[in-house]
Amino acid sequence: MASRDGGRVAALSHQLAQAHQELRRQISDIRKSLGRRRLSDDVLLTHCLSFCAALTSHHQGEDDGMFSRLLRERPDLAATVANLVEDHAMISSILSRVKELADRAAGSTDSALEAIGRELDGLAAIMESHFTYEERTISEALDATSSVPDWAGMVFRFDVT
């Protein structure tokens, strides 16, 4: 949850950056573990599904709460928010493909792992671009928020496996 400083929410942009950093760490861990763990124990599937759920929850919190509030307070950010929502749709599509590949890869061949690796590499690159753009374009507006937002839990906190 956001901290308070004299009745004002402090450092929402910092909390957003921390959430993004945690998601970067999670995808990096999954990418590093490909091929080094036995797939028959469903470790890959479990980690992929956990990561996909965390990223999806983060983006749903942004789409359903954070962006709506930002647009009410800062209608000038409409084009930026539209770009971010578009990114979320693209990322969601890739996440669906990762889930599908992870499900099929359990106990499968090295080529299945390579396919997942390629998808994760692409996803990581898109996430990096998206996170950087988001932090650069909305940080000031986030920090101007005057109360603890109801969307903070979904955007800033998620379970980590």
pLDDT (tens digit, 9 = 90+) per residue, 107-137? 666 677 788 888 999 999 999 999 999 999 9
CA 56 to chain centre: 6
Cα(23)–Cα(54) distance, integer angstroms: 8
CB atoms within 10 A of CB 146: 9
Residue 151, CB-side half-sphere exposure with 13 Å CA sphere: 19
Q: What contacts 24+ positions apart, CB below 8 Å, involve 78-84?
A: 80/137, 80/138, 81/138, 83/133, 84/130, 84/133, 84/134, 84/138
pLDDT of residue 75: 94
Least-confidence region, from 41-45, 73-77, 132-136: 41-45
Residue 137: burial class (beta carbons within 10 Å; 0-12, 13-18, 19+): middle
Taking the model in full, what pTM does it have? Answer: 0.82
Higher pLDDT, 38 or 75: 75
When pLDDT is cut at 50, 70 and 90, the band that residue 9 belongs to is: very low
Helix residue ranges per DSSP H, the chain: 12-33, 43-61, 67-73, 78-105, 110-143, 152-156
pLDDT of residue 112: 73
Is residue 13 within 8 A of residue 143, CB to CB? The reply is yes
When pLDDT is cut at 50, 70 and 90, the band that residue 151 belongs to is: confident
